[in-house]
Amino acid sequence: MGNFYQTLQVRVSRIEHVTPLIKRFTMEALDGGELPPFTGGSHVIVQMRDGERQYSNAYSLMSSPDALGSYQIGVRREEQSKGGSAFLHDKVAEGDALTITTPNNLFALDHGAHHHVLIAGGIGITPFMSQMHELRKRGASHELHYAFRADEHGAFRDELAALTQQSSGGQVRFYIDSQGQKLDLSGLLGGMDADAHVYVCGPAPLIDAVRQAARDRGLDPSRVHWEQFAAPEQAGDAFTVVLAKSGKTVEVGAGESILKAIERDGTVPVECLCREGVCGTCETRILEGEAVHFDQYLSDKEKAAQKTMMICVSRARGGKLVLDL
C-alpha cells in the first residue's frame, strides 16, 4: 500500500482530432529521450491541475511498446465528464507540459495462450492498439472484434486494418450499431478455441455481457480479462466506517465513496491517484467487516480474501467497516 508510482513530465507534441469526440495526444519526454518501457495493455495516469481543482485520469497507452520516443493516448470527451477529459479536450494545447505516472499494466496479454480474442466497445479500443503491436511482433494468433455506435465513432480503423495486414496471425472485424451490425457474443465465445483467452474493454454493459457469456460457455475465469476506465456509480445503502488508527468514525452516504466521506470529514489524509479503482494507491486493510469490491486492481482471489479494499470505489457489505486508517 502507498504510492509506488513514479511521475514524470512530458510535453504534448501533437493533438489529433480522430472522431468528433476523440482526440489522440502524443507525448514526448522533455529532454527528447526515451520514455520508460511498457507492455501492451499498459496505462498511465495523467495528473492535471485546473486552478484549485486537480484531476487524475487513467488512459491506455496506444503506441507500439517498441517506439519509446513517445507515448500516445486516446481521450474521449465524456458527456458527463468529471473534469479530466474536458480539461484535456478544452485546455491542453500542443507544446504544453503534463505530469504522468510511469506505465502500469493490469490488462496484460497472457502469452501462454495459443489464441487471443479481443473485444472492444467504443473508446475501449485504446488498450488493444498497443496489444495489437505486441501480438504482431510475436506472430501470435488473434482476432479483434470492435463495436461502436455509428460510422463516425469508429476510431483508428485504418491503423487497425494496417496492423492486421502486417500480422501473420491476426484478423479484425468491425460492428456498427447504427447499421444493424451486432456482436454475437454467444456465437463468438461458443466457437472459441479451448486454449484461447478473451479480453474485453469498453462500457460496463459490454463487459458484463462478455463475462456472462464466458460463464455460460463454462470458460475458466482465468481466461477472461477485462478493463474499464470508469469508476462505478456509487450506489447502495449508507454505512459507517470506523478508522481504527485515528479513532474516528465516518458516515458514508448512499451515493458517496469511502474516500470522499473521509476527505469530507477532513481528519485523515488518504493518498489516491486515480479515484477509479485502477491505480492501487488507496488500498486499505480491512480489520472488521466485509467489502463489496468494485475495483480492477485486486485479483478475484484477493477480493475473496477480504484483507484489503480500494476505498475510492468499493463499499461495505453491511452497515459497518473497520479500516486500518
* Residues annotated in a binding site for [2Fe-2S] cluster: 274, 279, 282, 312
| Residues ≥6 apart with Cβ < 8 Å to 133 | 40, 63, 64, 65, 66, 163
| Integer Cα distance of 76 and 97 in angstroms | 20
| Integer Cα distance of 62 and 120 in angstroms | 14
| Integer Cα distance of 94 and 205 in angstroms | 35
For the chain, the maximum distance between any two Cα atoms, rounded to a whole number of angstroms, is: 61
Return binding residues: 274, 279, 282, 312
* Overall size of the chain counted in residues: 325
Grid cell locating 247: 479513532
